[in-house]
């Protein structure tokens, strides 16, 4: 559209100024008439435009002069000049010269303003303070509590909201009122947004959905205006639900001395606080919000009377994962022999989004092998892809590299099979996967764990050290770079044992780690309140824990050297082994492990 408008303006300018016109005095015009050189003229109210039969002194054929003599027409006709006239003040000419450019500029401005407004047809710049919430009416919401599984406690908490929206008078017969704001907190992918939509679907009310980042713009005051507009729309549509996703983008803790963009965020947050104080929950407007960073929210936002209730939407337990599998498995064709309970055991720590992705990856794997149904092996392949990464078939290892990788991975597997409290080995492979893994040992817990003892953490360090220890044992101390990730993870566990859990007697039972975030991994590595001498003690304690894990792994592998050699030979021949295919991987060896770990 912009190109068309500019092209029209250029053509109009070219049409008007196609030929150059000389302005001449009226006396010269009379001389041209007397000489019989004028071919034709156009007489207007104040001017005369015409064309000569030959060329003027300037080389042009067209001329223009002021109209002076009213009896000029008779003279022109007497000389055989063609005379034309134009009505004075022509409306069509005025529209063409002034109206068309104005219209073109308006169309260009309107087009650009809509593009900058995001294509939401809100009137361009004039509607910049309007709320950008997506409104879903009752018939648009197809999600109910039946579609949400694995979060039974959260659904029970939100059932009160549904009851209030359906029957507000009977619900408040004893004077109670529903909380003004309900904050859904939990890790990413646990279904907070889905749960909010299910509340609206169950209650059968309108649903206003918006992200916290959509309130903040480069113009000061826009965010506050959008908050006001959102609540005004919600009051008109009551009963309804307002859902603000990623509330931390809007309600971050206010800091003193902020300026610029932070000042805009503070104004937006202040307006939200004012709206929460000003509206009456009895009108049927419920505010739901979701975040995975509740620790950074402003305290004024979380006080009683604003967000009165926090509902935890946590990772599902085993029963919850089975329920989520049943919900998502309806969308694919599954073999009758698939054991959902076994799949749930292999997916400890998965969120609802992870399980949905697992179902999709399993269906893709079955489709890739031209199967009619999705079997258990397809789920195993999907778990491997999610946990370990995609197979790198193009990465070809040399014979010696394959042998070293086989010893490394079998070292991990045998140490894991020999220690108590360690996740059982599901599969060992020397097929490269992911970004840099040349092989992998997949361990999956069979039950949910909420506490870990100090001995179990030491055993985990020993398992991580098993790969390098195996290389040192076989290659006479000549280790490779393959243990880089193992050393990183072992160090993280040892540091947390010393600085976070107080599990070292020399350093003491106090914490030196920063306060962890609730649902996201901590980004800060500095020690809190540790003197220089204490920092040295922490370093020594971490080193001792890792060295003790190495000693434990060496004792196990020396005692099980025959299993190590047999496992490596079989692994090189088959590239992948499961615990069912190689019996030593299922050997408990608890007594040896306890003595070595101690």
Contacts for 215 with CB less than 8 Å, ≥ 6 apart:
223, 226, 227, 250, 268
Q: Indicate the DSSP class of residue 97.
A: I
For strands 440-443 and 425-429, give the pairing.
Answer: antiparallel
Closest CA to 304 of 269, 277, 268, 270: 277
Rounded to 5 degrees, what are φ and ψ at 338? -75, 125
CB-neighbour burial class of residue 496 (10 A; exposed 0-12, middle 13-18, buried 19+): middle
Please tell me which residue in 202, 214, 361, 409 is annotated as part of the active site. 409
Residue 409 is a catalytic residue: yes
Helix (H) or strand (E) holding 179: none
Instruction: Count CB-CB contacts under 10 A for residue 85.
Output: 11
Taking the C-alpha atoms of residue 183 and residue 536, their distance in angstroms, rounded to an integer, is: 43
CB-hemisphere CA count at 13 Å for 181? Answer: 23
Contact by Cβ (8 Å): 497, 457: yes
Length of the chain: 598
Taking the C-alpha atoms of residue 469 and residue 49, their distance in angstroms, rounded to an integer, is: 102
Helix (H) or strand (E) holding 489: helix 484-499
Contacts for 408 with CB less than 8 Å, ≥ 6 apart:
439, 467, 468, 470, 471, 480, 482, 483
Closest CA to 200 of 246, 237, 251: 237
Contact by Cβ (8 Å): 413, 423: no
Taking the C-alpha atoms of residue 371 and residue 365, their distance in angstroms, rounded to an integer, is: 9
Residue 422 Rama label (left phi>0; alpha psi -120 to 50; beta): beta
Task: Give the three-class secondary structure for 500.
Answer: coil
Helix (H) or strand (E) holding 40: strand 38-43
Query: How far separated are the first and last CA of the chain, in Å rounded?
Result: 77
Contact by Cβ (8 Å): 182, 307: yes
Contact by Cβ (8 Å): 443, 579: no
**Ordered DSSP codes for 73-120:** HHHHHHTT-EEEE--TT-HHHHIIIIIHHHHHHHHHHHHHHHHHTTS-
**Alpha helices by DSSP H, 242-351:** 261-278, 299-302, 318-328, 340-346
For strands 285-291 and 181-185, give the pairing.
Answer: parallel
Widest CA span in the chain: 132
Rounded to 5 degrees, what are φ and ψ at 64? -145, 140
Contact by Cβ (8 Å): 359, 381: no
Helix (H) or strand (E) holding 258: none
Active site residues: 409
């Amino acid at each position: 559209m912009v190109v068309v408008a500019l092209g029209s303006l250029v053509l109009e300018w070219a049409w008007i100024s196609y030929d150059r016109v000389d302005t001449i005095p009226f006396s010269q015009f009379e001389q041209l008439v007397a000489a019989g050189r004028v071919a034709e003229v156009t007489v207007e109210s104040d001017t005369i435009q015409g064309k000569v039969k030959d060329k003027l002194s300037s080389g042009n054929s067209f001329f223009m002069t002021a109209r002076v003599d009213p009896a000029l027409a008779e003279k022109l006709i007497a000389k055989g000049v063609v005379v034309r006239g134009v009505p004075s003040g022509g409306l069509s000419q005025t529209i063409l010269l002034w109206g068309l450019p104005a219209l073109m500029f308006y169309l260009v401005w309107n087009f650009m303003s809509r593009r900058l407004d995001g294509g939401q047809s809100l009137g361009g710049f004039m509607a910049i303070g309007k709320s950008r919430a997506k409104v879903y009416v009752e018939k648009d919401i197809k999600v109910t509590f039946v579609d949400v599984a694995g979060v039974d406690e959260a659904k029970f908490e939100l059932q009160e909201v549904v009851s209030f929206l359906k029957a507000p008078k009977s619900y408040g017969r004893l004077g109670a009122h529903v909380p003004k704001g309900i904050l859904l907190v939990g890790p990413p992918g646990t279904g907070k947004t889905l749960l909010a939509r299910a509340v609206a679907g169950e209650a059968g009310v309108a649903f206003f959905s918006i992200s916290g980042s959509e309130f903040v713009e480069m113009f000061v005051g826009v965010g506050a205006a959008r908050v006001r507009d959102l609540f005004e729309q919600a009051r008109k549509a009551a009963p309804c639900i307002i859902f603000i996703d990623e509330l931390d983008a809007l309600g971050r803790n206010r800091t003193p001395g902020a300026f610029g963009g932070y000042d805009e965020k503070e104004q937006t947050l202040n307006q939200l606080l004012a709206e929460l104080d000003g509206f009456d929950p009895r009108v049927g407007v419920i505010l739901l919000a979701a975040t995975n960073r509740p620790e950074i929210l402003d305290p004024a936002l979380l006080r009683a009377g604003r967000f009165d209730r926090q509902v935890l939407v946590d990772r599902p337990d085993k029963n919850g994962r089975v329920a989520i599998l049943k919900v998502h498995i309806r969308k694919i064709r599954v073999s009758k022999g698939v054991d959902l309970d076994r799949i749930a055991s292999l997916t400890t720590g998965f969120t609802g989004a992870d399980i949905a992705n697992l179902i999709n990856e399993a269906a893709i794997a079955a489709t890739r092998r031209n199967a009619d149904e999705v079997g258990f092996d397809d789920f195993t392949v999907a778990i491997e892809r999610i946990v370990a990464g995609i197979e790198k078939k193009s990465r070809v290892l040399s014979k010696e590299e394959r042998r070293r990788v086989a010893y490394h991975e079998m070292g991990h597997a045998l140490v894991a099979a020999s220690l108590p409290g360690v996740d059982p080995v599901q599969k060992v492979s020397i097929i490269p996967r992911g970004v840099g893994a040349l092989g992998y040992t997949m361990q999956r817990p069979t039950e949910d764990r909420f506490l870990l003892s100090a001995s179990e953490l030491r055993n985990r360090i020993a398992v991580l050290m098993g790969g390098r220890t195996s290389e040192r044992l076989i290659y006479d101390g000549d280790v490779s770079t393959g243990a880089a990730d193992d050393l990183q993870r072992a160090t993280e566990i040892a540091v947390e044992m010393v600085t976070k859990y107080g599990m070292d007697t020399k350093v003491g039972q106090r914490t030196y780690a920063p306060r962890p975030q609730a649902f996201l991994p901590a980004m800060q590595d500095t020690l809190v309140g540790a003197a220089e001498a204490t920092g040295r003690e922490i370093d020594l304690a971490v080193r001792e824990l890792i060295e003790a894990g190495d000693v434990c792994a060496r004792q196990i592998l020396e005692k099980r050297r025959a299993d190590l050699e047999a496992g490596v030979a079989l692994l090189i021949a088959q590239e992948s082994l499961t615990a069912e295919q190689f019996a030593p991987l299922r050997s408990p060896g608890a007594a040896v492990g306890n003595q070595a770990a101690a």
